[in-house]
Structure 1
Amino acid sequence: MKKLLGLLILAFILISATISTVAPAPFHSIEGTWELQSFYNYDDGVNISDTVPTSDGYRQVKMYYNGKIMWSRHAPKDSLDWFGYGTYKITADSLIERLEYGSAPMMSALDTLRVFRFELELTEDTYSQISYDEEGNRTFSENYKRID
């Protein structure tokens, strides 16, 4: 009886150790520097209806580090400066940016909205921040490539 009890306890310990060492699949880090490559439009809230590459000379760069975000945009046909700074948080499938300050045009926009919530598709070298409407349907996305 003692041997059977000992074997059961040993089996329980081995099974418990195996179960506790199985970790959930990790998701990639968004920390780093990213450059905008294109936009997707969704016409039905699910499927991509159009891909729009960035125009010549247009650059938008985002930097994520230690819970902070900074981004800037240069558009040759736009005389306004666009940049912003704030904090961010990600989960396996969402990105939340909370902007604290930015350029004058951005501060005008921030009067109405400071927290930006996106669906997130993140790989090691790319990510898409997908905007959605109040019903949860995808509307458009910004698609980035890691540059550092």
Structure 2
Amino acid sequence: MIAPAFSWPTRVYWEDTDAGGVVYHAQYLAFLERARSEWVRAQGYGQDRLRREFGLVFAVRAMQIDFLKPARLDDALQVTAELRDCRRASLVFAQAIHRDGERLLTATVRVAALDAEGFRPTPIPPSLYEPLKALETPVQDQLK
């Protein structure tokens, strides 16, 4: 397993921006989603493995976002994802987007564990819950 702190690089392309070259607000959701997906993959549990081996998918249940400063066309961004809380049927992530060390956005994202067949809430299996629980980041250490 890798350390709980995770950073995923991305660049802003035309398709991410409005006519003025500023990142469209909804595009930040895609950046956050990709970073969470890559965090899960880096832990050894890609989305396909979660579905096949655990019968589990995660879906966003709630999100709080603070837009602090805009990202612009061609900016190189770092999107962080840290597991704040591993609960029996959900995960809570603290996320941020930075450009050159400057924080542009912060987010708290709750994802619910769902049965892959029926898309109903389900507990995270113990064989997955315990390793994830061990990756929780204490609140005071998050998003530095």
Interval containing the TM-score (normalised by the shorter chain): under 0.3
Q: Which structure features the higher share of helix residues?
A: 2
Q: Which structure features the higher share of strand residues?
A: 1
- In the superposition, the TM-score normalised over structure 1's length comes to 0.26
- In the superposition, the TM-score normalised over structure 2's length comes to 0.26
